[in-house]
Structure 1
Amino acid sequence: MMQRTLTLASGLRCHLYHQPDAREAAALMQVGAGSLHEPDRWPGLAHLLEHLLFCDSARFSGSQRLMPWVQQQGGEVNATTRLSRSAWFFQLPAPALEGGVTRLADMLLAPKLTPDVIRQECAVIDAEYQLLQSHSEALSEAALLHPLGERFRRFRAGSRAAFGDNVTDLQRALRRFHQTRFTAPAMQLWLSGPQSLDELESLAAAFSGLPGDSVPALPVVPQQPDDNAITLLELPGDNAFWLTLLTPYSHNFSDSVTLLRSYWLDEAEGGLLHQLRGEKLCDTLQVSWLWQDTRHALLALRFSAPAISSAQAWRIEQRVWQHLQAVQHTTLRQQQHYLQLAQRDFRAETPLRQLRLRAAAEAPAAHLPSDLASAILQLTQARRMRLLTRQPLSNALTCITQGFTLRCSRGAFSADVPAAAVRWQFPPRAIRADATGSGGTAAALPQALPVEPAETLLLRPACYQPLADRAGMAYQRRLRPLLAELRHLGGRGVWQQQQGIWQLLLDIPADAAVAWQLLPAITAQLSAADEAGDPPEPAAIVIRQLLQTLPSQLLHPASARRWQAAWCGHDRHLNHYAAQSLARLRRQATPSASPPLRRGITPVACQGRDQALLLFIPLTAPDDISLAALQALGLFLAPRFFQRLRVEQQTGYVVTARYERCADVDGLLFALQSPDISWVRLLIHCRRFLLDMQTVLSQSDDETLRAWQQTLQERCQPHANRQVAQDLLRREAGGPCLTPEAVAALTLPHMLQLFRQLVRQRRRWRVLINRP
Structure 2
Amino acid sequence: MNAPPPLDDDAARRAGLPPGSRLQEVQLPSGLWIAAAEVPNARLQRLVAAVGVGYLDEPDDCRGLAHLLEHALFLGSTRYPEAGELAHWVGERGGRYNARTDDTVTDVHLHLPPDETDDGLARLVDMLARPRLVPESIAREVEVLDAEFRARLADPDLHRLAALGRLCREGHPARLCHAGNRKSLGDDATHLVSRLSDFHARHYRSGRMALAMLGPLPLAAQLELLARHGAALPIGDPSPLPRTWRWGEPGGVAWHSPQATPGTSALELLWPLPDELDASHSDWLSGVAARLADGRLAATLQAAVELDSFDVTLTPQGTGAALALRLAPAPDEEAVQTLLAACRTALERALVSPLATRPPAAIELDAWPRRCACRLAGSGSSSDRGNDGQAAPPKALLPWLATEQCRLLWQSPHAPGSWKRLTETGTVWQPQSLSEAELPLPWRAAPALPARTLRPSADEPDPHLLNQGVGFQLWAGDPLQLPGAPPAWFCLGWSASLAHQTARLAQWRQNALPLRQAAAANGLQLRCDGDVRGDWLIATGPAERLDALVELAVACWPETVTRPRDEAPKGLLAQRMLARLETLPPPGTPGKPNQQPLAWVYGDTDTQAAETLLRRLAASRRNDDTAHEVTAETHWLSAQADDHAVMLEIAGPDDTPQSRWLLQLLAQCHDAAFHQEMRQQRGLGYVAAVRYREAAGYPRLGYVVQSPGTGVDALRQAIGEFLAHQGEALARLDETAMANRKRALLAAAGPPETHTEALSRLWQALRRQPQADAWQPLPWEAESQALTSLHAGEITAMASAIAEGRLAQRWWLHDPSAAHP
Output the CA distance in 2 between the equivalents of 1:318 and 1:358.
35
Are 1:156 and 2:200 matched, yes or no?
Answer: no
Q: CA deviation at 1:257?
A: 3.7
Work out which of the residue numbers 633, 646, 651 in structure 2 matches 1:600: 633
1:525-579 deviation digits (Å, cap 9, x = unpaired): 448555445343333432343345554474689698645535275x597566534
Whether the 8 Å contact between 2:97 and 2:109 is mirrored in structure 1 is yes
Distance 1:312 1:607, change over 3 A: same
Name the amino acid aligned to 2:316: W
Work out which of the residue numbers 302, 311, 321 in structure 1 matches 2:326: 302
- Tell me the residue number matched to 2:361: 345
Output the CA distance in 1 between the equivalents of 2:694 and 2:325.
34
Whether the 8 Å contact between 1:651 and 1:677 is mirrored in structure 2 is yes
Q: CA deviation at 1:198?
A: 0.9
Question: Aligned with 2:62: secondary structure?
Answer: coil
Are 1:311 and 2:355 matched, yes or no?
Answer: no
Output the CA distance in 1 between the equivalents of 2:697 and 2:40.
33
Work out which of the residue numbers 556, 563, 569 in structure 2 matches 1:538: 569
Output the CA distance in 2 between the equivalents of 1:9 and 1:210.
13
Whether the 8 Å contact between 1:94 and 1:194 is mirrored in structure 2 is yes
Stretches of structure 2 that go unaligned for 5 or more consecutive residues are: 1-20, 377-381, 459-465, 817-821
Output the CA distance in 1 between the equivalents of 2:540 and 2:787.
31
- Tell me the residue number matched to 2:316: 289
Whether the 8 Å contact between 1:240 and 1:389 is mirrored in structure 2 is yes
Whether the 8 Å contact between 1:26 and 1:89 is mirrored in structure 2 is yes
Distance 1:145 1:281, change over 3 A: farther
- Tell me the residue number matched to 2:157: 137
Are 1:355 and 2:385 matched, yes or no?
Answer: no
Question: Aligned with 1:405: secondary structure?
Answer: coil
Work out which of the residue numbers 601, 605, 613 in structure 2 matches 1:581: 613
- Tell me the residue number matched to 1:103: 123
- Tell me the residue number matched to 2:425: 404
Whether the 8 Å contact between 1:612 and 1:672 is mirrored in structure 2 is yes
Output the CA distance in 2 between the equivalents of 1:525 and 1:435.
27
After TM superposition, the structure 1 = structure 2 runs for residues 48-87 of structure 1, keeping only pairs within 5 Å, are 48-62=68-82, 65-87=85-107
- Tell me the residue number matched to 2:4: none
Whether the 8 Å contact between 1:63 and 1:639 is mirrored in structure 2 is no
After TM superposition, the structure 1 = structure 2 runs for residues 350-389 of structure 1, keeping only pairs within 5 Å, are 351-359=365-373, 368=389, 372-374=393-395, 375-380=397-402, 383-389=405-411
- Tell me the residue number matched to 2:759: 721
Which deviates further from its counterpart, 253-262 or 638-647? Answer: 253-262
Distance 1:88 1:466, change over 3 A: farther
Output the CA distance in 2 between the equivalents of 1:106 and 1:575.
58
Name the amino acid aligned to 2:139: R
Question: Aligned with 1:336: secondary structure?
Answer: coil
Output the CA distance in 2 between the equivalents of 1:254 and 1:101.
31
Are 1:669 and 2:683 matched, yes or no?
Answer: no
Question: Aligned with 1:289: secondary structure?
Answer: coil
- Tell me the residue number matched to 2:239: 216
Output the CA distance in 1 between the equivalents of 2:689 and 2:37.
31
Distance 1:223 1:203, change over 3 A: closer
Q: CA deviation at 1:750?
A: 1.2
Among the aligned pairs, what percent are the same residue?
A: 21
Name the amino acid aligned to 1:245: W
Work out which of the residue numbers 720, 728, 737 in structure 2 matches 1:704: 737
Question: Aligned with 2:768: secondary structure?
Answer: helix
Whether the 8 Å contact between 1:38 and 1:44 is mirrored in structure 2 is yes
1:319-365 deviation digits (Å, cap 9, x = unpaired): 222111111222xxx63312xx1xx2332x2x121223335659998
- Tell me the residue number matched to 2:548: 517
1:60-82 deviation digits (Å, cap 9, x = unpaired): 35598444433343333221112
Distance 1:367 1:625, change over 3 A: farther
Work out which of the residue numbers 351, 357, 363 in structure 2 matches 1:328: 351
Which deviates further from its counterpart, 79-88 or 552-561? Answer: 552-561
Are 1:243 and 2:269 matched, yes or no?
Answer: yes
Distance 1:291 1:595, change over 3 A: closer
- Tell me the residue number matched to 1:16: 36
Distance 1:228 1:425, change over 3 A: same
- Tell me the residue number matched to 2:14: none
Name the amino acid aligned to 2:147: A
Are 1:750 and 2:818 matched, yes or no?
Answer: no
Name the amino acid aligned to 1:583: R
Which deviates further from its counterpart, 27-36 or 236-245? Answer: 236-245
Distance 1:446 1:595, change over 3 A: farther
- Tell me the residue number matched to 1:191: 213
Work out which of the residue numbers 755, 760, 763 in structure 1 matches 2:804: 760
Are 1:635 and 2:658 matched, yes or no?
Answer: no
Q: CA deviation at 1:746?
A: 0.9
Question: Aligned with 1:445: secondary structure?
Answer: strand
Name the amino acid aligned to 1:450: L
Whether the 8 Å contact between 1:149 and 1:223 is mirrored in structure 2 is no
Which deviates further from its counterpart, 160-169 or 91-100? Answer: 91-100
Question: Aligned with 2:368: secondary structure?
Answer: helix
Whether the 8 Å contact between 1:120 and 1:650 is mirrored in structure 2 is no
Distance 1:533 1:368, change over 3 A: farther
- Tell me the residue number matched to 1:413: 434
Stretches of structure 1 that go unaligned for 5 or more consecutive residues are: none
Work out which of the residue numbers 291, 303, 321 in structure 2 matches 1:278: 303
Work out which of the residue numbers 109, 133, 144 in structure 2 matches 1:113: 133
Q: CA deviation at 1:138?
A: 1.3
After TM superposition, the structure 1 = structure 2 runs for residues 262-277 of structure 1, keeping only pairs within 5 Å, are 262-266=290-294, 268=295, 270=296, 272-277=297-302
Question: Aligned with 2:529: secondary structure?
Answer: strand
Name the amino acid aligned to 1:709: K
Whether the 8 Å contact between 1:461 and 1:564 is mirrored in structure 2 is yes
Question: Aligned with 2:701: secondary structure?
Answer: strand
Whether the 8 Å contact between 2:288 and 2:355 is mirrored in structure 1 is no
Which deviates further from its counterpart, 440-449 or 672-681? Answer: 440-449
Output the CA distance in 2 between the equivalents of 1:723 and 1:367.
39
Which deviates further from its counterpart, 476-485 or 110-119? Answer: 476-485
Output the CA distance in 1 between the equivalents of 2:388 and 2:613.
39
Are 1:32 and 2:52 matched, yes or no?
Answer: yes
Output the CA distance in 2 between the equivalents of 1:79 and 1:303.
29
Q: CA deviation at 1:463?
A: 10
1:108-133 deviation digits (Å, cap 9, x = unpaired): 11211222321221111001110222
Output the CA distance in 2 between the equivalents of 1:169 and 1:733.
68
Name the amino acid aligned to 1:248: P
Which deviates further from its counterpart, 28-37 or 475-484? Answer: 475-484
Distance 1:485 1:613, change over 3 A: same
Distance 1:627 1:140, change over 3 A: closer
Q: CA deviation at 1:311?
A: 2.4
Whether the 8 Å contact between 2:527 and 2:537 is mirrored in structure 1 is yes
Output the CA distance in 2 between the equivalents of 1:6 and 1:558.
57
Question: Aligned with 2:671: secondary structure?
Answer: helix
Which deviates further from its counterpart, 208-217 or 481-490? Answer: 481-490
Whether the 8 Å contact between 2:159 and 2:427 is mirrored in structure 1 is yes
Are 1:476 and 2:520 matched, yes or no?
Answer: no
Whether the 8 Å contact between 2:252 and 2:407 is mirrored in structure 1 is yes
CA RMSD of aligned residues (A): 3.7
Q: CA deviation at 1:315?
A: 2.0
Whether the 8 Å contact between 1:546 and 1:604 is mirrored in structure 2 is no
Whether the 8 Å contact between 1:32 and 1:186 is mirrored in structure 2 is yes
Distance 1:446 1:750, change over 3 A: farther
Output the CA distance in 1 between the equivalents of 2:504 and 2:590.
12
- Tell me the residue number matched to 1:445: 474
Q: CA deviation at 1:767?
A: 0.8
Question: Aligned with 2:29: secondary structure?
Answer: coil
